[in-house]
Structure 1
Amino acid sequence: MLFSRHPDSTEDSLLFDLLAGMGSPENGSDEPLTPTGRLVLQKEMNLVIYCAIGVKQPLDVDALKSMIQSSPMFTHPRFCSLLVQDSAGREHWRRTCVDIDQHVIPVYGPIAEGLSDEAAVNEYLIDLSTDLPGFLGDDKPLWDVHLLMAQRCMVFRIHHALGDGISLMSMFLALCRRVDDPEALPTIHPPSSAKMRRGGSGEWWKAVMRVLGVVWFTLVFVVEFMLRSMWASDWKTPVSSSAGMELWPRKLATARFWLEDMKAVKSAVANATINDVLFGIISAGLVKYLDHRSPNAVREGTQITGVAMVNLREQPGLQELSNLMKDNPGLRWGNKVGILLLPVHYHRSCGDPLEYLRKAKSMIDRKKKSLEAHFSYKIGEMVMSYLGARAATVLNYRIFCNTTFSISNMFGPHEEIAAVGNPITYIRVNVSGLPHALTLHMMSYAGRADMQIQVAKDIIPDPEFLAKCFEDALLEMKAAASTALNSKK
């Protein structure tokens, strides 16, 4: 299910030319932005990725600078190019020489008095998201690394135009080594997924039914997608979004989960996946929060729609950096992300906590049978190519304004890893620039999964309580799964 033309084909071609010694800063040639790059640089969709990486030992500034300078990141064309505009106002990439001291910024001393390290890092991340005018200048490439010395944390700030989460995380992991084997790269396994079984020669009718199912679900979800891009929107709730909310003041909190707990819950429902469990947690947690925040304010059955960012690469999950550099349309560098609309239906006192998982699985199974994510990717490419960046921005912006929250989930290394010999304790990711009052980004690492909960603080003033609602939802599901398992014995 790949497209014949990738919107980052120009970007990919430039990468190989530069690695071959062409396109050097001296030849003065500029390269136009790809369609996706132009989209995420529009003022309404100005997306910046933040990755906070905690370590066990004090940070060594010189060693980290040396690591970055000797890495592919320092020679990658997107990380060595300025964003410039021509006389017609069209954006281009222009190669430049990178000054490492402009990009690696040590921060000494406490960030905020009276806060835990986790809260201080989250506070710093929010402060960074308000500093976009300085970050988006034309004097240096669109990335930097902030070293929070007191919190032993590295914060990578990278504009989404430089690549999607899979590309960027794969690049970072290429700099790391396993703690149990310092010479080995991190093990990067894509999440397991159930594949459709092929029927035998006498089961042709099952293949026909599968195709008809794909056609039907694609038609239904594509119609909903198009309506969302025009006028159809969620009913108002205490967590609803509106146009312009990407500029509202923000707060950030972290919910922490153990993957073993999620796997225990997954085993209670046949053929469930970790993504099903995650969305079941979100469904249950939102109901908990709304019941606490505004009892009886939300009508029974109200739909609360999430926008999920979906990796459309040929191989799901993270890839080795060498694979991303190859001329393979399914793997190569750039932005290859589609959109799924994932609805939560509000119901009071569900009773069995596992019912949230069953409903999430049923809904996601229907989504898997459709080509909704691929359609969203393709239609965005076509609108950008034929109608321009403004039309594509309006299309995407209205989808976000007419839904309630954003969600992404990325699977990281299974084992503990180290950067410059310093063991990493956590990896957390969030994105700024979306017009939602609630954005959720989960990243798993070494048996844990941390979810960054970014909110518009005037709408959701207590994200720490919302984080606890999500954590409690998982624990309740785990207890219900244990009870169900014991009852079968």
Structure 2
Amino acid sequence: MAASVPDEPLTPSGRLFLRPELDTIIHCIIRGKDPINVDAVKSTIASSLMLQHPRFCSLLVRDRNGREYWRRTQVDLDQHLIVINHRIGTADYSGANAEEAAVNQYVADLTVSTPLSTDKPLWEAHLLMAHRCAVFRIHHALGDGISLMSIVMGCCRRIDDPEALPTMITKRDLGPGGGKWWDRIRQVLMMLCFGFVFALEFILRALWVRDRKTVISGGAGVELWPRKLATAKLLIQDMKVVKKAVDNATINDVLFAVVSSGISRYLDHRSPNALQEGLRITGEAMVNIRKQRQLEDLSDLIKNNSSSRWGNKFGVILLPIYYHKRNDDPLQYLKRAKKMVDLKKHSLEAHFSYKTGDLVMSWLGPKYASLLNYRIVCNTTFTISNVVGPQEEITLAGNPIDYIRVNTSSLPHALTMHMMSYAGRADIQVLVAKDIIPDPEFLATCFENALIEMKEAALATVKK
């Protein structure tokens, strides 16, 4: 098979994620309710869409000029399944918390200086037998979070229908919408105006503008620092209650409000009375820019003309949040977040960042594109993303799944957050440089308490 299929050049974004400055691996943590059956997992992966997709069956090779290609090969699953039989100890925790802390610490250790071998396709699965967890490690060069989560979910089945694939459906909301002609003209003018402003901000961030230094700031070289990982556990129903308190708010608006409030709480704890009210703290938010985000037919992902577009098709928006001391109305965080996100939607900033990165890659090559991205990360404070997971409970190799969580390998940011929803829950993986943020568990609690306060305020508003 390998000899009959010609080598395929990497996409520009694939080459970008292989640069040493941005060598990025996505981690997907799946915990089962029952003990792991290694043979069942191996059989499930072998018969899944994962091994039908060319990216998961190809080696990364370079020609004499250093140009990267995908070369088809036979996959030996035994090389990709890494079975860990011993229990991972955490002396500082006990009971259920020890189980979660053990898995989090294992993954945190993987996020720093643990590359994938190029002697095999760039993915592997670690089976933590004593903790009933499978950790899928997939290189970002193979695809973005939407693509890779979809292919992993192709290994799973619904509990209520063992023959059915998980349902992953989200709505689309980018760019000017419908309405009367003068409304459309107004929206286009707003798009051009805010698009220019945000494009200029991107350029300035890449040159010299940076956030004021706080106790959660990272910087150049921090991607090599040891990590800790904690989990903030939220309920989708609570987020829906909160979003109803503000007209036309979305789950993403609530997420950004929770992050804004939680970081403000944490800064008050670490550096009370040291920060100016309204201090801007800028993050990078990853935004899927596909025209279609409904991925019910996962087999469509392996077709070359897929409308869902396999690969890395996401943009970045600069997400400003502002430090505020706690006040009597927690919903103010949501109102500010919604106002800011609405401006970002009108500007098509995510599309601009995607096209700009593509042009820089095409004209100047991956070296300068990675330098551009690296400088923007160093000049901001955090990374955040949100991946919509299955709405119903599912199984992997017949094992009911307790939770699904995602994160990536470390960045120059000292704080990265990745939310993944599953069956009514939304878990945020809080990955930190532990020498800068030594207590990520407390930061995760700040996020949880922020949502609870917003929910209580939203319910009180309804009663009035």
TM-score range, shorter chain: over 0.9
Which residue, 172, 185, 204 being the options, matches 2:152?
A: 172
Q: Distance in 2 between matches of 1:192 and 1:366?
A: 16
Indicate if the aligned counterparts of 1:166 and 1:318 stay in contact, CA closer than 8 A: no
Q: CA deviation at 1:47?
A: 0.6
Structure 1 residues 216 and 113, CA gap change in structure 2 (3 angstroms): closer
Deviation per residue, 1:36-79 (Å, 9 max, x gap):
01100101111100000011111000011011111121232211
**Residue in 2 aligned with 1:209?**
186
Q: Does 1:290 align with 2:272?
A: no
Indicate if the aligned counterparts of 2:158 and 2:392 stay in contact, CA closer than 8 A: yes
Q: Distance in 1 between matches of 2:177 and 2:109?
A: 49
Report which stretch shifted further, 180-189 or 325-334: 325-334
Q: Residue 217 of structure 2 aligns to a residue in which SS? A: coil
Which residue, 328, 339, 348 being the options, matches 1:371?
A: 348
Indicate if the aligned counterparts of 1:262 and 1:277 stay in contact, CA closer than 8 A: yes
Q: Residue 260 of structure 1 aligns to a residue in which SS? A: helix
What amino acid does structure 1 have at the position aligned with 2:240?
K
Q: Distance in 1 between matches of 2:47 and 2:400?
A: 20
> Residues 58-457 of structure 1: matches in 2 within 5 Å?
58-114=35-91, 115=93, 116-130=98-112, 132-133=114-115, 135=116, 137-191=117-171, 198-199=178-179, 203-316=180-293, 318-328=295-305, 330-457=307-434
Q: CA deviation at 1:413?
A: 1.0
Q: Distance in 2 between matches of 1:98 and 1:186?
A: 25
Q: CA deviation at 1:455?
A: 0.3
Q: Does 1:474 align with 2:451?
A: yes
**TM-score, normalising length from structure 2?**
0.95
What amino acid does structure 1 have at the position aligned with 2:160?
D
Indicate if the aligned counterparts of 2:229 and 2:431 stay in contact, CA closer than 8 A: yes
Indicate if the aligned counterparts of 1:169 and 1:318 stay in contact, CA closer than 8 A: no
**TM-score, normalising length from structure 1?**
0.91
Q: CA deviation at 1:315?
A: 1.4
Deviation per residue, 1:329-379 (Å, 9 max, x gap):
641211101000010111223331000000000000110101111011001
What amino acid does structure 1 have at the position aligned with 2:182?
W
Deviation per residue, 1:13-43 (Å, 9 max, x gap):
xxxxxxxxxxx31247432221101100101
Report which stretch shifted further, 256-265 or 188-197: 188-197
Deviation per residue, 1:281-310 (Å, 9 max, x gap):
000000000000111222222110010011
Q: Distance in 2 between matches of 1:127 and 1:172?
A: 22
Q: Residue 347 of structure 2 aligns to a residue in which SS? A: coil
What amino acid does structure 1 have at the position aligned with 2:127?
L
State percent identity of aligned pairs: 60
Indicate if the aligned counterparts of 2:260 and 2:321 stay in contact, CA closer than 8 A: yes
Deviation per residue, 1:90-112 (Å, 9 max, x gap):
22222222111111111112111
Q: Distance in 2 between matches of 1:221 and 1:450?
A: 30
Deviation per residue, 1:94-137 (Å, 9 max, x gap):
2222111111111112111444111000011012223524x2x3
Q: CA deviation at 1:319?
A: 4.9
Indicate if the aligned counterparts of 2:175 and 2:348 stay in contact, CA closer than 8 A: no
Q: CA deviation at 1:163?
A: 0.9
What amino acid does structure 2 have at the position aligned with 1:399?
I
Deviation per residue, 1:191-240 (Å, 9 max, x gap):
475996533xxx43222111111111111111111111111111111111
Q: Distance in 1 between matches of 2:463 and 2:397?
A: 46
Structure 1 residues 431 and 194, CA gap change in structure 2 (3 angstroms): closer
Deviation per residue, 1:407-445 (Å, 9 max, x gap):
000111111011122111100000014210000000000
Deviation per residue, 1:129-158 (Å, 9 max, x gap):
23524x2x3311111001111111110011
Q: Distance in 1 between matches of 2:121 and 2:382?
A: 30
Q: Distance in 1 between matches of 2:307 and 2:3?
A: 32
**Residue in 2 aligned with 1:8?**
none
Unmatched segments (≥5 aa) in structure 1: 1-23
What amino acid does structure 1 have at the position aligned with 2:138?
I
Q: Distance in 2 between matches of 1:471 and 1:113?
A: 23
Structure 1 residues 386 and 406, CA gap change in structure 2 (3 angstroms): same
Q: Distance in 2 between matches of 1:113 and 1:119?
A: 7
Indicate if the aligned counterparts of 2:169 and 2:293 stay in contact, CA closer than 8 A: no
What amino acid does structure 2 have at the position aligned with 1:303?
R
Q: CA deviation at 1:175?
A: 1.9
**Residue in 2 aligned with 1:10?**
none
Deviation per residue, 1:438-474 (Å, 9 max, x gap):
0000000000000000001111000000000000000
Q: Distance in 2 between matches of 1:309 and 1:193?
A: 15
Q: Residue 57 of structure 1 aligns to a residue in which SS? A: coil
Indicate if the aligned counterparts of 1:143 and 1:157 stay in contact, CA closer than 8 A: yes
Q: Residue 109 of structure 1 aligns to a residue in which SS? A: coil
Q: Distance in 2 between matches of 1:113 and 1:405?
A: 27
Q: Distance in 2 between matches of 1:390 and 1:213?
A: 34
Q: Distance in 2 between matches of 1:399 and 1:421?
A: 43
**Residue in 2 aligned with 1:16?**
none
Q: Distance in 1 between matches of 2:296 and 2:358?
A: 24
Unmatched segments (≥5 aa) in structure 2: none
Indicate if the aligned counterparts of 1:339 and 1:376 stay in contact, CA closer than 8 A: yes
What amino acid does structure 2 have at the position aligned with 1:332?
R
